[in-house]
Amino acid sequence: MAGGRTRQPEPTPSAGGYPDGPTALRAVEVDVAEQVTLADVARWAGVSVATASRALHGTTGRTVNPELRARVKAAAAELNYSPNANAQAVVRGTTTTVGLVVHDIADPSAAALAAGVMQVAATRDLIVTISATLSDPLAEVRHVESLRRQRARAIVLAGSRFNDPESAGRLGEELVGYAVGGGRVAVVGQHRMPLRTIEIDNDGSARRLATTLASLGYRRAAVLAGPELIATAEDRMTGFRAGMAAAGAPVAQENVLVAPPTRDGGYVAMTELIDLGLLDGVDVVVAVNDVMAVGAIAALRDQGLRVPADVAVAGFDDISTLRDVRPALTTVRLPMERIGADALALALSGGPDDEVGVRTVIGDVVVRESTPPRS
């Protein structure tokens, strides 16, 4: 009866730990309203959980004799036991799942990174689950906590890198604890924890973008920046401003507009720049990512302004969407798909006690039609 309790016979173990035979039975209660576990099957068959696991799932290098295997399978059938990935993980210590945490899967750069992770996962028969922080630092912590509880084979953390001490501390504890327990971790971003890391030189790459634009004759820039809480956006904004200052063309503070790092955020920020009259005298607008730059170009077009005739525009990332943007956008190219593939390969390489590795990716400045040389 659903929700009730039924009594099933269970073999009585002998002094050696195994049942003496089918006549040595005793009653055992099994709550059929709850999911039958591997421990229930082992108890019914009169064997250890490890033996039951080997009999049902198999373990490399370990075998179970045919009599015990048949007894365990009979117990599983009697109790209607259905193994699942998480139950097997408890016994084997891990699952076939790889956890990927990004800031927003709708962002083409995050999607490209995910594609790279999935390519490597497919070659190793691993399944990728993707979580998005959506600019919430505590959500990032919760995702990692969940993946740790689920015993994911590996975690690739490619979130927004938040400038929030509380969440950063909690995140570090979760990741380091997961790694110490044998989990595999790779972080995409700044190297702040003793974990395998692919570090992106956002600050230096933004400085090189500034130097390139200054060499093309641009002297009065505005920046569409992301929230200060997001470290990646902050690094790109400060790096660009430092590069322009070094070129003798500092960016005025009032020409830095903060907005969500999305297409709509770029649109709103550019509209505000126009409405406040701050675009007057500006010869180039730089967004901290390409999706903001695309939104900015749309806002300029809706206001009857032309790129680059009225103002030049540049971005950061070189997302695939730019192939359809006209004029072609000047940007900093980051090979996000390769970064994703390398991140998972790095996480899975070696053992948990191996030396922590750091790889640095430097962006390439790509000059296109949106920032022609100025006379």
Asked whether the domain spanning 202-333 has the same topology as the one spanning 5-91, the reply is no
Q: Provide φ and ψ at 360, rounded to 5°.
A: -110, 130
Alpha helix stretches (DSSP H) within the chain: 38-45, 49-57, 66-79, 85-92, 108-123, 137-149, 165-180, 202-215, 231-246, 263-275, 290-302, 336-348
Q: What are the structure tokens assigned to 54, written together?
A: 């080997």
- Amino acid (one-letter) located at 80: N
User: How wide is the angle at C-alpha 260 spanned by C-alphas 344 and 255, nearest 5°?
Assistant: 120
**CATH fold of 5-91, please?**
434 Repressor (Amino-terminal Domain) (1.10.260)
What DSSP string runs through 136-165?
A: -HHHHHHHHHHHHHTT-SEEEEES--B--H
In this structure, CATH architecture of domain 202-333: 3-Layer(aba) Sandwich (3.40)
Based on its alpha-carbon atoms, the radius of gyration of the chain, rounded to whole angstroms, reads 28
Mean pLDDT computed over 196-224: 96
pLDDT tens digits, 322-369: 999 999 999 999 999 999 999 999 999 865 445 567 889 999 999 999
pLDDT category, 225, cuts 50, 70, 90? very high
In this structure, CATH architecture of domain 93-200+337-361: 3-Layer(aba) Sandwich (3.40)
pLDDT tens digits, 57-105: 654 445 678 888 888 888 888 888 766 544 444 444 567 899 999 988 8
Where are the domains positioned within the chain? 5-91, 93-200+337-361, 202-333
